[in-house]
Amino acid sequence: MSNVDETRTPGIDESHERVSYRSRQQFWDLIESPYVVHAVLAFAMMTVLVPFGWELITSFKANSAIYNLNYLPANPTLQTYYNVLIGEGYWKAILNSLLISTSTTVIVLALATPAGYAFSRFRFRFDNLLFIGVIFSRLFPPIGLVVPYYQIMARVGLLDDLLGVTIAQVYLWLPLMIYIMRNFFISIPEELDESARVDGCTRLQAFRKVALPLARPGIAACGILTFLYSWREFLFSLIVTSTLDAMPISVAVFKFVGDVSVSWASMAAASILAIIPTVFIVVFFQRYIVTGLTSGALKG
Amino acid sequence: MGDVKLENVTKRYEDVTAVDNMNIQIHDGEFVCLVGPSGCGKSTTMEMVAGLTMPTEGTVHIAGREVTNLPPKDRGVAMVFQNIALFPHMDVYDNISFGLRLRNFEKDEIDRRVDKAAEVVQLEGMLDRMPDEMSGGQRQRVAIARAIVRQPDVFLMDEPLANLDAKLRVHMRTELQRLHKDLETTVIYVTHDQAEAMTMSDRIAIIDGGQLQQIDPPLECYNQPANLFVAGFIGSPSMNFVEGEVTENGFTSEYMDVEFDPSNYGVSAGDKVTLGVRPEDIYPAESGRSISSPTGEIRTKTDVIEPMGDEIFIYLLLSEEVETDLEDPAASNQLLISVPPDSDVEEDQDMSVVLDRNKIHLFDTESGQAIEHSLVASPAASGASGTSGAESDD
């Protein structure tokens, strides 16, 4: 017969512990059990999917049927979509959003990639100060800058103009993307550039032939994020646009909120239309976002 | 053609001087190792030769022309980096041919040279592999092939074997030597591993604190170190040092004396000097080994014993009041000796040792500069070598 207490951890004196090691481990084992983890995930998913499902269902109802107490539409219809897209001319808003987001993405990538590279590679006077300045410009609450921005756009005649909205989007997302690209380039060993330069590259060639191809995941992640962010941006676009000539879909959705009533079904249909491209992008390109944003953390 | 000359080269970073007034002349076809501890400036020196770092002062000449302000691509150098630095998005062929393609070589010529380089480093049949599909040794060969394919005037190698495991390192060391013999191109090789430097190079440049300490053939650095730093850095285990001063009769310290005639060595009584002797130049008195010029016996006590297989290292205490300092084998109060593996030694046993006067080095303690590398000349009093007495005073 063994006289060792088998409920105790061998070699560990538990007498001084307020809560025994064993009890604490049992608690954490429970927290990490698949049941608890799945329950938490299911709850989190519901908080995302229920409003979305509600909106999807609403979009298939006629405006007049919104206040019926049925969850599912009695007579599902695509009429609301037709009204929104063609009747209200919201296809223009979607086109505007596509133009604004695409050009914002191209401009931001064209500027953030070389800027991120320069901040990662070159040491020059006040380089850190300049970099902090870039980040700092993004720390202002956007609402505080809306009025001066409106005045500038009014002065240069870019109100209700696609270019005006695009400039705002570039201003909003460029600093963050410079920051991400800089971190990404830091994760690419500088010896690769040096090796290319010894092999015969100029600095620019080393950037173009070596650093740039290796930064593709980072560039892809930045591009996707910029597109998504500028697609859904609301505040600046709302301030500088007033008609469907330049209004992106994120603002156009809001136009269904009238002074006396809200066209819920139309707004739901417009919202669904607005998120289709973003869902598409996230589903097909999410692996680029993950690799692009994490490779720096892993390698660096 | 591939000679390299650094004249008064200095590199300062704000308040740090990484390289201080370096003057080195490397001849065509020579294999020169730059060695020194981490942060001594050896890599910065190499980067200045490569053109990756611009010197604050001084000039760099390669193959007879001044290249101080030329970009790396125009210097006729090729470089192998410590982390190998293969382009991960290119296969082996593209990696090796990168420099040739940049220079718009004909496709046939590129193929011919790549095949030749691959053959030299034994990479035939692997040209379509990606770097991440290769082992560390194979990647290193690709890096070397990438360097040799351009037929540069000078190869620069910045600790190229540091990331390889010990066995592969020894193997690649031999291959690099063979390659140098075949190509007869100037090689500048940076390492902090003095064994690498000793085995591979025609000359070793030992650098410390950004300053060149000595540049000489390996055995000369080993047998005639220019100063205390070189003496301590070259050789493993390190040289033993005993600080003391010169008297009328020779050297005296707290723990041991060695007689010699100071006037023969340009020192005089009262000078602070450090005596240096390598572990293999100290012999147990009872070993019966005949030495042409032994010192008198020094009584010591064995402390830690380290059997290495082919030899045994013994830490000897010169005084009972101190303990062995394994961190600093060159501490003044202990001697590290190496004896044959069949020697019968135990810890805490009394042992008398003698030093080989042929191999005793004398350094100026203050400046660290070497004064003499052999104390075999006649002692002052007796005039006969081998009869001098050295006494421990424990």
Q: Which CATH superfamily is domain B4-232 in?
A: P-loop containing nucleotide triphosphate hydrolases (3.40.50.300)
Q: Given CB atoms, is B51 within the 8 Å cutoff of chain A?
A: yes
Q: Do A194 and B77 touch (CB under 8 A)?
A: no
> Which pLDDT band holds residue B122 (cuts at 50, 70, 90)?
confident
Q: Which residue of A has its CA nearest to B143?
A: A195
B71 contacts in A (CB within 8 Å)? 197, 202
List, in order, residues 6 or more apart from A268 with CB less than 8 Å away: A55, A56, A58, A59, A80
Residue B380: its pLDDT value, please?
45
Start-to-end C-alpha separation, chain A: 56
Which B residues 300-319 touch A at CB under 8 Å? Answer: none
- The domain spans of chain B are 4-232, 237-372
> Which pLDDT band holds residue B389 (cuts at 50, 70, 90)?
very low
- pLDDT tens, residue by residue, A75-108: 788 888 898 888 888 899 999 999 999 999 999 9
A193 contacts in B (CB within 8 Å)? none
Q: Which residue of B has its CA nearest to A194?
A: B52
Residue A7: its pLDDT value, please?
58
Tell me how close the Cα of A213 comes to any Cα of chain B, in angstroms: 7
Tell me how close the Cα of A294 comes to any Cα of chain B, in angstroms: 18
Residue B377: its pLDDT value, please?
58
SS3 helix, strand, coil % of chain A, rounded to 5? 75, 0, 25
Residue B167: its pLDDT value, please?
83
% of chain A at pLDDT higher than 70:
91
CB-nearest partner of A200 from B88, B99, B156: B99
Q: Do B71 and A205 touch (CB under 8 A)?
A: no
Q: Do A197 and B87 touch (CB under 8 A)?
A: no
Q: Given CB atoms, is B105 within the 8 Å cutoff of chain A?
A: no
- pLDDT tens, residue by residue, A217-239: 899 999 999 999 999 999 999 99
- Class for the domain spanning B237-372: mainly beta
A213 contacts in B (CB within 8 Å)? 89
Q: Do B98 and A197 touch (CB under 8 A)?
A: no
Tell me how close the Cα of A195 comes to any Cα of chain B, in angstroms: 7
Q: Given CB atoms, is B72 within the 8 Å cutoff of chain A?
A: yes
Q: Do A198 and B77 touch (CB under 8 A)?
A: yes
Residue B386: its pLDDT value, please?
34
Q: How far is CA A82 from CA A60, A92, A254, A268, B280, in A?
A: 11, 13, 18, 13, 95
- pLDDT tens, residue by residue, B243-299: 888 998 888 888 888 888 888 888 888 899 999 999 999 988 887 777 777 888 888
d(CA A34, CA A83): 47
Mean of the per-residue pLDDT values of chain A: 86
Average pLDDT over residues B74-102: 92
HEC profile for A50-93?
Answer: HHHHHHHHHHCCCHHHCCCCCCCCCCCCCHHHHHHHHHCCCHHH
pTM: predicted TM-score of the whole model, two decimal places:
0.79
B89 contacts in A (CB within 8 Å)? 213-214
Average pLDDT over residues B359-376: 88
Tell me how close the Cα of A201 comes to any Cα of chain B, in angstroms: 6
- pLDDT tens, residue by residue, B18-45: 999 999 999 999 999 999 998 899 999 9
> Which pLDDT band holds residue A211 (cuts at 50, 70, 90)?
very high
> Which pLDDT band holds residue A289 (cuts at 50, 70, 90)?
confident
CB-nearest partner of A214 from B50, B89, B156: B89
List, in order, residues 6 or more apart from B55 with CB less than 8 Å away: B9, B10, B11, B19, B48, B68
Q: Given CB atoms, is B167 within the 8 Å cutoff of chain A?
A: no
Which of the residues A121, A199, A205 would you substitute to probe the B interface, choosing the one with the greatest number of B C-beta atoms within 10 Å?
A: A199
CB-nearest partner of A210 from B71, B77, B87: B87
